[in-house]
Amino acid sequence: MPTVSTRRVVITGMGAISPLGVGAAALWQGLREGRSAIGPLRHVDAGRLRVKVAAQVPESFDPAAHIDERTLPLLDRTSEFALHAAREAVAQSGVDFAGNGLGQRTAVIVGTGVGGETTQDEQSRRLYAENAPRAHPLTIVRLMTNASASQISIAYGLHGPTYAVASACASANHAIIQAAQMIRYGMADAAVTGGTEACLTYGALRAWEAMRVLADDTCRPFSVNRRGLVLGEGTGIFVLESLEHARARGATILAELAGTGMSADASDIVMPSAEGAAAAMQQALQEAELNPGDVDYINAHGTGTQANDVTETRAIRLAFGAHADRLAVSSTKSMHGHALGASGALELVAAIGALRDNVVPPTANLDKADPACDLDYVPNTAREMPVRAVLSNSFAFGGLNAVLALKRAP
Amino acid sequence: MTATIQQQLFEIIAKQAKIDVATIRPESTLKDLGIASLEAIEMIFDIEEHFNINFPDQQGANFDTDTAQSLVDAVQKALDDKAAAGEGSK
């Protein structure tokens, strides 16, 4: 088999919009403080819905304050978030896409579970409920799932491979992995990547209600009294580069994206498999050349459903053996909620924060661990401890697993 | 003659489980009847639609251990609650 030369991949910029506020710093600060952004659902139809709580981007986020008025009409809420977070990430990285033809060698890969759901819901309401004779002419450009990736490519003149990745709740991690592999194997020198989701519409909320996986109080991952997941929304966008490219321009490196793992359970459409999740974790360790004992923290998928938390615990034991008992494991979904196709991106902000500050964010609302969940979940209060390497897990309906392995900046 | 709640409910269960309605006993659990989690959610939906009721969320409960009788009781309670509230299901 021919040997393939590979390159190391680093992260040099991050941006986020989350229920904890605008900006990656607001998200990380909130998580460090163990602050939950879960609250009563704000929705025009809240009175009719059974969903009582959600983690929503603060009402103070005003897209018009951040995005020019000619672009704004083209955007669904998912793309408003994504464009704004991309600006933060690009600014932090200090990268110049116009110089040296870098824009020609930059990919844009953005994950989203359902894309422009707000647009879809609004237009359906017009057509079916109000009997409107026509849809808004910008409906398609707003709702297409690649809209966020395309808008970022247009905003920064990025001509490399650009598209959306969809794998439900693993979309962001799959997108970030795809972007990293492009750099690793020389198809691009840089990438703008992450995940975005904003689908708290009447229709989507009704659909989630019917699945009976939503908590009615709050998200309590790994706790014996957990009652399900809490829906969220938001965006995390990152600038990835090859290590050599980042070093050549003297960039500040936030972390190394050292390994990735992907697998499919190939069993049930919703019930997770410990073996499938463990396989993805093991692949990520292997690609990163990490032994289980090198990892200090896992940002868990940790949805707070009955099935996930027990299965993920078993998967971590399968992948880490005896070292599982020395790992810090936390679910930050207890604070930022489950942003579905964006969740891996919000959690990557947490993983990078843990590596840079040597602080593990807690699992909030963990009253009493489920006996079937027997790892150290860092309950309720952040922990200062050396963090050398981190895994970030995302698992999706459909039996899809995507795991990131991160190391400190080299 | 109107079918009893139990008769109507057992018909729905039988349809979901693709079994003869006569094989369902009040003490049968959904697991006994071969109804897995996602099918149970679908069946709950069918029951809600048929009786025009809303079951409370059952996160934390285990559908596998629910018996046919417990579903009959739950339907009866939901119908009673609806009658007491004097309004249709929202």
Give chain A positions within 8 Å (CB) of B38.
268-271
A236: part of which helix (H) or strand (E)?
A: strand A234-242
pLDDT in tens, A36-57: 999 999 999 999 999 999 999 9
Task: Write down the domain spans for chain A.
Answer: 9-248, 259-407
CA distances from A295 to A33, A355, A392, A403, B86 (A): 23, 11, 11, 13, 59
Q: Tell me: ipTM over 0.95.
A: no
End-to-end Cα distance, chain B? 28
pLDDT for B89 beyond 60: no
The model's pLDDT over A333-350, given as tens digits with 9 standing for 90+, comes to: 999 999 999 999 999 999
Each residue of A200-234: pLDDT tens digit?
A: 999 999 999 999 999 999 999 999 999 999 999 99
Same fold, A9-248 and A259-407: yes
d(Cα B54, Cα B75) in Å, to the nearest integer?
A: 9
Let me know: does A231 contact A303? Beta carbons within 8 Å.
no
Write down the residue that tokens 């050396």 correspond to: A386
Give the pLDDT confidence of A278-307 residue by residue, as tens digits: 999 999 999 999 999 999 999 999 999 999
Active site residue A338: yes
Report CB contact under 8 Å: A225, B38. Answer: no
Cβ atoms A276, A268 nearer than 8 A: no
- Hey, is A28 helix, strand or coil? helix
Question: Over pLDDT 90: what percentage of chain A?
Answer: 98
* Amino acid A5: pLDDT: 80
Minimum-distance CB partner of A216 among B41, B57, B90: B57
pLDDT-derived band at B90 (thresholds 50, 70, 90) equals: very low
Q: Do B57 and A227 touch (CB under 8 A)?
A: yes
pLDDT at A364: 98
% pLDDT > 90, chain B: 47
Judged by average pLDDT, the poorest of A131-135, A286-290, B27-31 is B27-31
CB pairs under 8 A between A and B: 37
Q: If you average pLDDT over every residue of chain B, what do you get?
A: 85
- Residue range A62-88: mean pLDDT, rounded: 96
pLDDT-based confidence at B63, cuts 50/70/90? low
* Catalytic, out of A245, A301, A336, A373: A301
Question: Residue ranges of the alpha helices (H) in A160-305?
Answer: 171-184, 202-211, 243-248, 274-287
In the block, residue with structure tokens 């459903």:
A305
In CATH, A9-248 is 3.40.630.40 = no
Domain locations along chain B: 5-85
Whether residue A310 is predicted with pLDDT greater than 70 in this model: the reply is yes
Question: Using the beta-carbon criterion (under 8 Å), do A212 and B60 form an inter-chain contact?
Answer: no
Q: Which CATH architecture has domain A259-407?
A: 3-Layer(aba) Sandwich (3.40)
CA distance A272 to A270: 6
Asked if the model's pLDDT at residue A151 lies above 70, the reply is yes
The length of chain A in residues reads 410
Its pTM stands at 0.95
CA-wise closest residue to A41 among A26, A56, A19, A31: A56
> Region B48-74: what's the mean pLDDT?
79
How do strand A328-330 and strand A38-40 relate by DSSP bridges?
Answer: unpaired
Pairwise CB contact (< 8 Å): B59 & A212? yes
Residue A4 pLDDT: 75
**Residue A405: closest CA among A302, A393, A8, A377:** A393
Q: Report how far residue A39's alpha carbon sits from residue A29's, in angstroms, rounded to the nearest whole number.
A: 18
- Supply the pLDDT for residue A1: 55
Q: Please list every residue in chain B whose beta carbon sits closer than 8 Å to the beta carbon of residue A48.
A: 90
Of 3.40.50.450, 1.10.1200.10, 3.40.250.10, 3.30.70.3000, the CATH number of B5-85 is: 1.10.1200.10
Report CA torsion sign: A360, A363, A367, A369. negative
Helices (H), A95-229: 117-124, 139-143, 147-156, 171-184, 202-211
Told to judge if A159 belongs to the known catalytic residues of this protein, a careful annotator would answer no
